[in-house]
């Protein structure tokens, strides 16, 4: 008998858009996050992984923030050694 799959849901507002992120266990220490599949809405094609549900959701949230940034806005890199 298999146990039910626990799905965690995180709601995030990124660049003025609302996202629902679903996270579920892959193994005991590996979690997969993806944009929730809602009727009529696209989902992420690549999942994001983390050691906890929060870590996996954070990875996807960080990526969505990066790709949602205004054109021409790049994250600032700090010089090596600082």
The one-digit pLDDT tens for each residue of the chain (82 residues) are 666 778 999 999 988 888 889 999 999 899 999 988 777 766 656 789 999 999 999 999 999 998 887 666 555 555 555 4
Question: Is 29:51 a contact under the CB 8 Å cutoff?
Answer: yes
Per-residue model confidence (pLDDT) at position 40: 74
Q: Residue 59 gets which letter from DSSP?
A: H
| Nearest one of 52, 50, 71, 68 to 12, comparing CA atoms | 68
Per-residue model confidence (pLDDT) at position 69: 76
Structure tokens at 72: 């021409």
Question: Is 38:21 a contact under the CB 8 Å cutoff?
Answer: no
């Amino acid at each position: 008998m298999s146990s039910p799959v626990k799905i965690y849901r995180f709601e995030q507002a990124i660049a003025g858009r609302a996202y629902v992120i679903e996270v579920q266990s892959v193994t005991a220490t590996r979690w997969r996050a993806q944009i929730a599949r809602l009727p009529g809405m696209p989902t992420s094609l690549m999942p994001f992984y983390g050691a906890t549900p929060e870590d996996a959701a954070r990875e996807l949230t960080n990526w969505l923030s990066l790709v949602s940034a205004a054109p021409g806005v790049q994250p600032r890199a700090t010089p090596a050694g600082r």
